[in-house]
Amino acid sequence: MTRFRAELTEQLPFPREQVFRLLSDHNRLGELIGLPVRRIRDSDQADPNGTGSVRWIGIGPVGIEETIITFEPDHLIEYTVTSFSAFRNHLGRIRLSETPDMSTYLHYTVDFDEVIPYSGPTLQAAMQRVLNRGARRLIERLPQTGS
């Protein structure tokens, strides 16, 4: 079975904590990806967006559930699709690291297998568009979030 990947690397002129705060907030994620997103289950951790939290991405009954499986503040978020979808073995990973000039290096990957034969390249292209659009919006919105 072929594995597919959408990937984004970006150096952002903002502190890692500020970038993480925006990327980890389920209720603000929709601003970045251009789809409605809402947290439907809080994490048991101090941060309600942490490990075990669940977000719904979509409109009404049409969408997907993603569950946060790793949450390391200011460093790493991993999530997987936990509802029926066109993806199998889905893993999203957002890794942040600090650069010597105190800006942030973002490495975002989404790996998955296709469920419907031959749909992988189309899903991969769509996912890549979402990541690229999200990066542009992230750069636009970060100055508004303050440090």
Q: What residues contact residue 32 under an 8 Å CB cut-off, 6+ apart?
A: 22, 23, 133, 134, 137, 138, 141
Q: pTM of the prediction?
A: 0.92
Task: Report d(CA 130, CA 112) in Å as an integer.
Answer: 15
Q: Which amino acid is at 56?
A: W
Question: Per residue in 87-146, pLDDT tens?
Answer: 899 999 999 999 999 899 999 999 999 988 899 999 999 999 999 999 999 999 888 776
Domains with residue ranges and CATH for the chain: 3-145 (3.30.530.20)
pLDDT tens track for 85-104: 888 999 999 999 999 998 99
Cα distances (Å, whole numbers) of residue 84 to 65, 66, 103, 144:
8, 11, 38, 36
